[in-house]
Amino acid sequence: MAKITPPFAPFEWLIAWRYLRARRREGGVSVMTWISLIGIALAVFALIATLAVRSGFRYEFVQTILGANAHISLYSASYLDENNRLSRSIRDFDAIAENVRNVEGVIRAAPIIRGQLMASFNGRNAGVEVFGERQSDLMTLPLIVTPETASGDIGRFKEGIAIGSGVARELGVSAGDRIKIISPDGVKTAFGTAPRIKSYEVVYVFGVGRYDIDRTRIYMPFAEAQSFFNREGTADEIEILVTNPEGVNDQVVPILSAAGPRAVVWTWQDSSGGFLQALKSEDNVMFIILSILVLIASMNIVSGLIMLVKNKGSDIGILRTMGLTEGAILRIFLIIGASIGIAGTLIGVTLGVLFAIYIDPVFTVVNWLLGGGVWDPSVRYLSQLPARLELGDVLSAVGLSLGLSFVATIFPARRAARMNPVEALRYE
């Protein structure tokens, strides 16, 4: 009675390894093996690198949005003021801010003045957005207090203004210089409204790494902003930060209840949610497109194994006459295909992880080779190319590559297993 060997016995691994490393003159297909392995490695590398960059984009955008902007902005519904003009200014802003701070999950509620003006220095002008804040409230904005780059002293904020690095670059100023802030809604005279012009010392220059913030934003002391914008005794809005920005919609109802019946809110997801959703959709599309590359690379395994089965037809016939079952032949070729897929996947994962970790020097080299100017912050908003490794992205790439490699191996392996030994040895 023939002895039944267990599946994936040592001799099956030995034969598979022998076929994998066989030279072409010995009937092997080592060249096709290398092509399959390199193809899978490059496809997995491209998939992980792309997903890392897309994850980096989303993370950096969310962090800069949440680090320098309100999670929730609270406004007042429109009403007629004492001059019978339509207004949305908040009168009892301190009381409302205190009520909102008492809501569970709220960590900051700061009244602000906000307006768009012009800044000027030595004949150079720039359109800016001014935020009037108290120094104690400004110190609770993480990206402003600890930005990527900073100069000057934020502790002197009450004595001047803080400006973004892009504004400073546009005007050609640095900490210690004095710039003019110009408002078209100024002093009313007999000849009409004269622009309001006032000079301020730049006491702090910050760079948060996001172009649309660094290029336009100026912070001014709250009381000075009230005077400059003719907002005495009122605030334009209340900036609110919460402990869980991703679940900001759960905070809307409690905050509206605390703020009173005339309150209106606008969350960061309302303002940026569409863009983040577009990023997510792009992630899905890129994953599908790059998955096709992995599929194409896996097809090389099929062609390589089909050639191997053809070249090793006589060997398969001999092994069958020696007593090897169809299952043993099937497993031998499954081991060959799976080994190529696993090796290629491991190499691709290694390259992808190294790319994400060392993306800055890699991008510096690419930028140098292409003559510079590859990354334009004014278009992409971020100051540098981000990359962030997510375990889910790496596991998705690994699972896809191994799954396609294993599935691609089944057809040629079954073909080898069903080969008739008599036909295989007929002309030997």
The confidence score (pLDDT) of residue 191 equals 55
Give the span between the Cα atoms of 147 and 163, in whole angstroms: 12
- Per-residue 3-state assignment (H helix, E strand, C coil) for the chain: CCCCCCCCCHHHHHHHHHHHCCCHHHCCCHHHHHHHHHHHHHHHHHHHHHHHHHHHHHHHHHHHHHHHCCCEEEEECCEECCCCCEECCECCHHHHHHHHHCCCCEEEEEEEEEEEEEEEECCEEEEEEEEEECHHHHCCCHHHHCCCEEEECHHHHHHCEEEEHHHHHHHCCCCCCEEEEEEEEEEEECCEEEEEEEEEEEEEEEECCEHHHHCCEEEEEHHHHHHHCCCCCCECEEEEEECCHHHHHHHHHHHHHHHCCCEEEEEHHHHHHHHHHHHHHHHHHHHHHHHHHHHHHHHHHHHHHHHHHHHCHHHHHHHHHCCCCHHHHHHHHHHHHHHHHHHHHHHHHHHHHHHHHCHHHHHHHHHHHCCCCCCCHHHHCECCCCCCCCHHHHHHHHHHHHHHHHHHHHHHHHHHHCCCHHHHHCCC
- Residue 425 confidence (pLDDT): 59
User: What is the pLDDT at residue 197?
Assistant: 87
In order of 80, 95, 141, 144, 358, the CA distances from 69 in angstroms are 29, 22, 8, 10, 30
Per-residue pLDDT at 392:
87
In Å, how far are 120, 144, 308 from 172, measured between CA atoms? Answer: 10, 20, 69
Phi, psi of 134, deg, nearest 5: -75, 150
> How far, in Å, CA of 283 to CA of 299, rounded?
24
131: tokens are 């935020």
Tallying the residues shown for the chain, one arrives at 428
pLDDT of residue 27: 45
Apex 308 CA angle, 307 and 312, nearest 5: 120
Look at residue 112 in the predicted model and tell me its pLDDT.
Answer: 93
**pLDDT on residue 379:** 45
Residue 164 pLDDT: 92
Q: pLDDT tens per residue, the chain (428 residues)?
A: 345 666 777 777 787 777 777 655 544 456 777 888 888 899 899 989 888 888 887 777 777 777 678 889 999 887 777 777 777 888 889 999 999 999 999 999 999 999 989 999 988 999 999 999 999 999 988 888 888 889 999 999 999 999 999 999 999 999 999 999 988 776 655 555 667 889 999 999 998 877 778 888 999 999 999 988 888 889 999 999 998 888 888 889 999 999 888 889 988 888 777 777 777 787 788 888 888 888 888 888 887 777 777 776 777 777 777 777 777 778 888 888 888 889 999 999 999 999 888 887 777 777 677 666 555 554 444 546 677 888 888 999 899 999 988 888 888 888 877 776 656 555 55
The first and second tokens of residue 170, run together, are: 């546009």
Non-local CB neighbours of 190 within 8 Å, separated by 6+ positions = none
- The pLDDT score that the predictor gives to residue 225 is 92
pLDDT score recorded for residue 421:
64
Amino acid at 276: L
pLDDT at 249: 86
Position 213 scores a pLDDT of: 85
Residue 146: phi and psi, rounded to 5, are: -125, 70
Is the whole model's pTM more than 0.85, yes or no? Answer: no
